Chains A and B, each alone.
Chain A
Amino acid sequence: GNSVTQMEGPVTLSEEAFLTINCTYTATGYPSLFWYVQYPGEGLQLLLKATKADDKGSNKGFEATYRKETTSFHLEKGSVQVSDSAVYFCALRKNSGGGADGLTFGKGTHLIIQP
């Protein structure tokens, strides 16, 4: 079946540091890949996505590249801010055409940015 593995954290960084949150996946075929962000007390929001190999998703300074050869979708940001403190979820969705699968999520990575 499908699965997503990501570092759980908490990950604590200083403001303006470089961020990488690793995400690897297991799935048959060619899934779509997503990063969702959950700010304290809120629901999940889509941060970025990629639907095929070598696609790069980007939003709000965050980037992730769909690497089929390493089955990875690592999230990166060059200079984090205190406002980036949140829980980040990597997720995949099978693109099986007629399939009824929803999203498969990783366990989430709690990111804490200190001033």
Chain B
Amino acid sequence: EAQVTQNPRYLITVTGKKLTVTCSQNMNHEYMSWYRQDPGLGLRQIYYSMNVEVTDKGDVPEGYKVSRKEKRNFPLILESPSPNQTSLYFCASSFIIQAEQYFGPGTRLTVT
């Protein structure tokens, strides 16, 4: 089954404790992206990747890092999480940037 998976689905952590949210797709997609969803703000792009070893900032990259060492994986790294990063995070992928994006189920992160 073609899908985008994210782990964990739910995470509660404390300020400053490094964490990684994994994202994996099994569709051989070149383009992958991370979004955060906040009430009243919709979805905003954090980072995206056009292909392996090619990443770039989206609209709200501060406090986040990403890597793309393999085509299927695109982890989101929070080196020192803060409460303002409490949000619902979605990973998405598409064959190329112009194609339909497939979204993962979301990761709900709470930073206390």
Contacts and interface: CB of A to CB of B under 8 A. Distances in A.
Contacts, number: 50
Given A44-B103, A102-B58, A89 B98 contact: no
Given A43-B90, A44-B90, A100-B48, A105 B42 contact: yes
Interface size grouping (class) on chain B: 20 to 34
A87 B104 CA distance: 16
Interface of B: 4, 33, 35, 40-45, 48, 50, 56, 58, 90, 92, 97-98, 100-101, 103-106
A42 interface: yes
Chain B binding surface SS class: strand
Nearest to A95: B98
Contact of A107 (B35, B42, B45, B103): B42
Interface residues of A, number: 22
B48 to A, nearest CB: 5
Given A100-B48, A100-B56, A102-B33, A43 B104 contact: yes
B105 A103 contact: no
Chain A binding surface SS class: loop
A45 B33 contact: no
Q: Which of A36, A43, A100, A107 has the most CB of B within 10 A?
A: A43
Contact of B42 (A43, A45, A46, A106): A106
A102 B105 contact: no
Contacts of B105: 41-43
A45 B103 contact: yes
Given A43-B90, A43-B103, A43-B105, A102 B40 contact: no
